[in-house]
């Protein structure tokens, strides 16, 4: 988390990096956003397929559909190893 805070500082982007330990991560993220009066939520996505996302649920999907502020979803894409 300190590393992400450092990225913000280096880019001169005002903001805070916070962690939540809520039972339901999506709700926890939205609660923290409300607590700090966030203007934007930035979250990641593992890029699950539709079937897996439907069965397992997706935190980023939940946040996008329930947030009162804009949400930026950054998809994590693994680099393919060269053979």
pLDDT in tens, 3-23: 988 988 999 988 888 888 888
Q: How far apart are the first and last CA of the chain?
A: 33
Task: Average pLDDT across each block of 10 residues of the chain; the chain has 83 residues. List them in order.
Answer: 89 87 91 94 76 66 93 78 60
φ, ψ dihedrals at 72, nearest 5°: -110, 120
Question: What is the CB-side half-sphere exposure of residue 59 using CA atoms within 13 A?
Answer: 18
pLDDT of residue 79: 66
Domains and CATH numbers, the chain: 2-75 (3.40.50.620)
pLDDT (0 to 100) of residue 66:
96
């Amino acid at each position: 988390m300190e590393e992400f805070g450092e990225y913000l500082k280096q880019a001169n982007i005002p903001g805070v990096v916070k962690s939540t330990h809520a039972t339901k991560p999506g709700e926890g993220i939205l609660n923290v956003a409300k607590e700090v009066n966030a203007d934007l939520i930035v979250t990641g996505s593992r890029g699950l397929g539709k079937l897996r996302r439907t069965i397992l649920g997706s935190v980023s999907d939940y946040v996008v559909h329930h947030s009162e502020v804009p949400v930026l979803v950054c998809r994590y894409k693994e680099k393919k190893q060269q053979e």
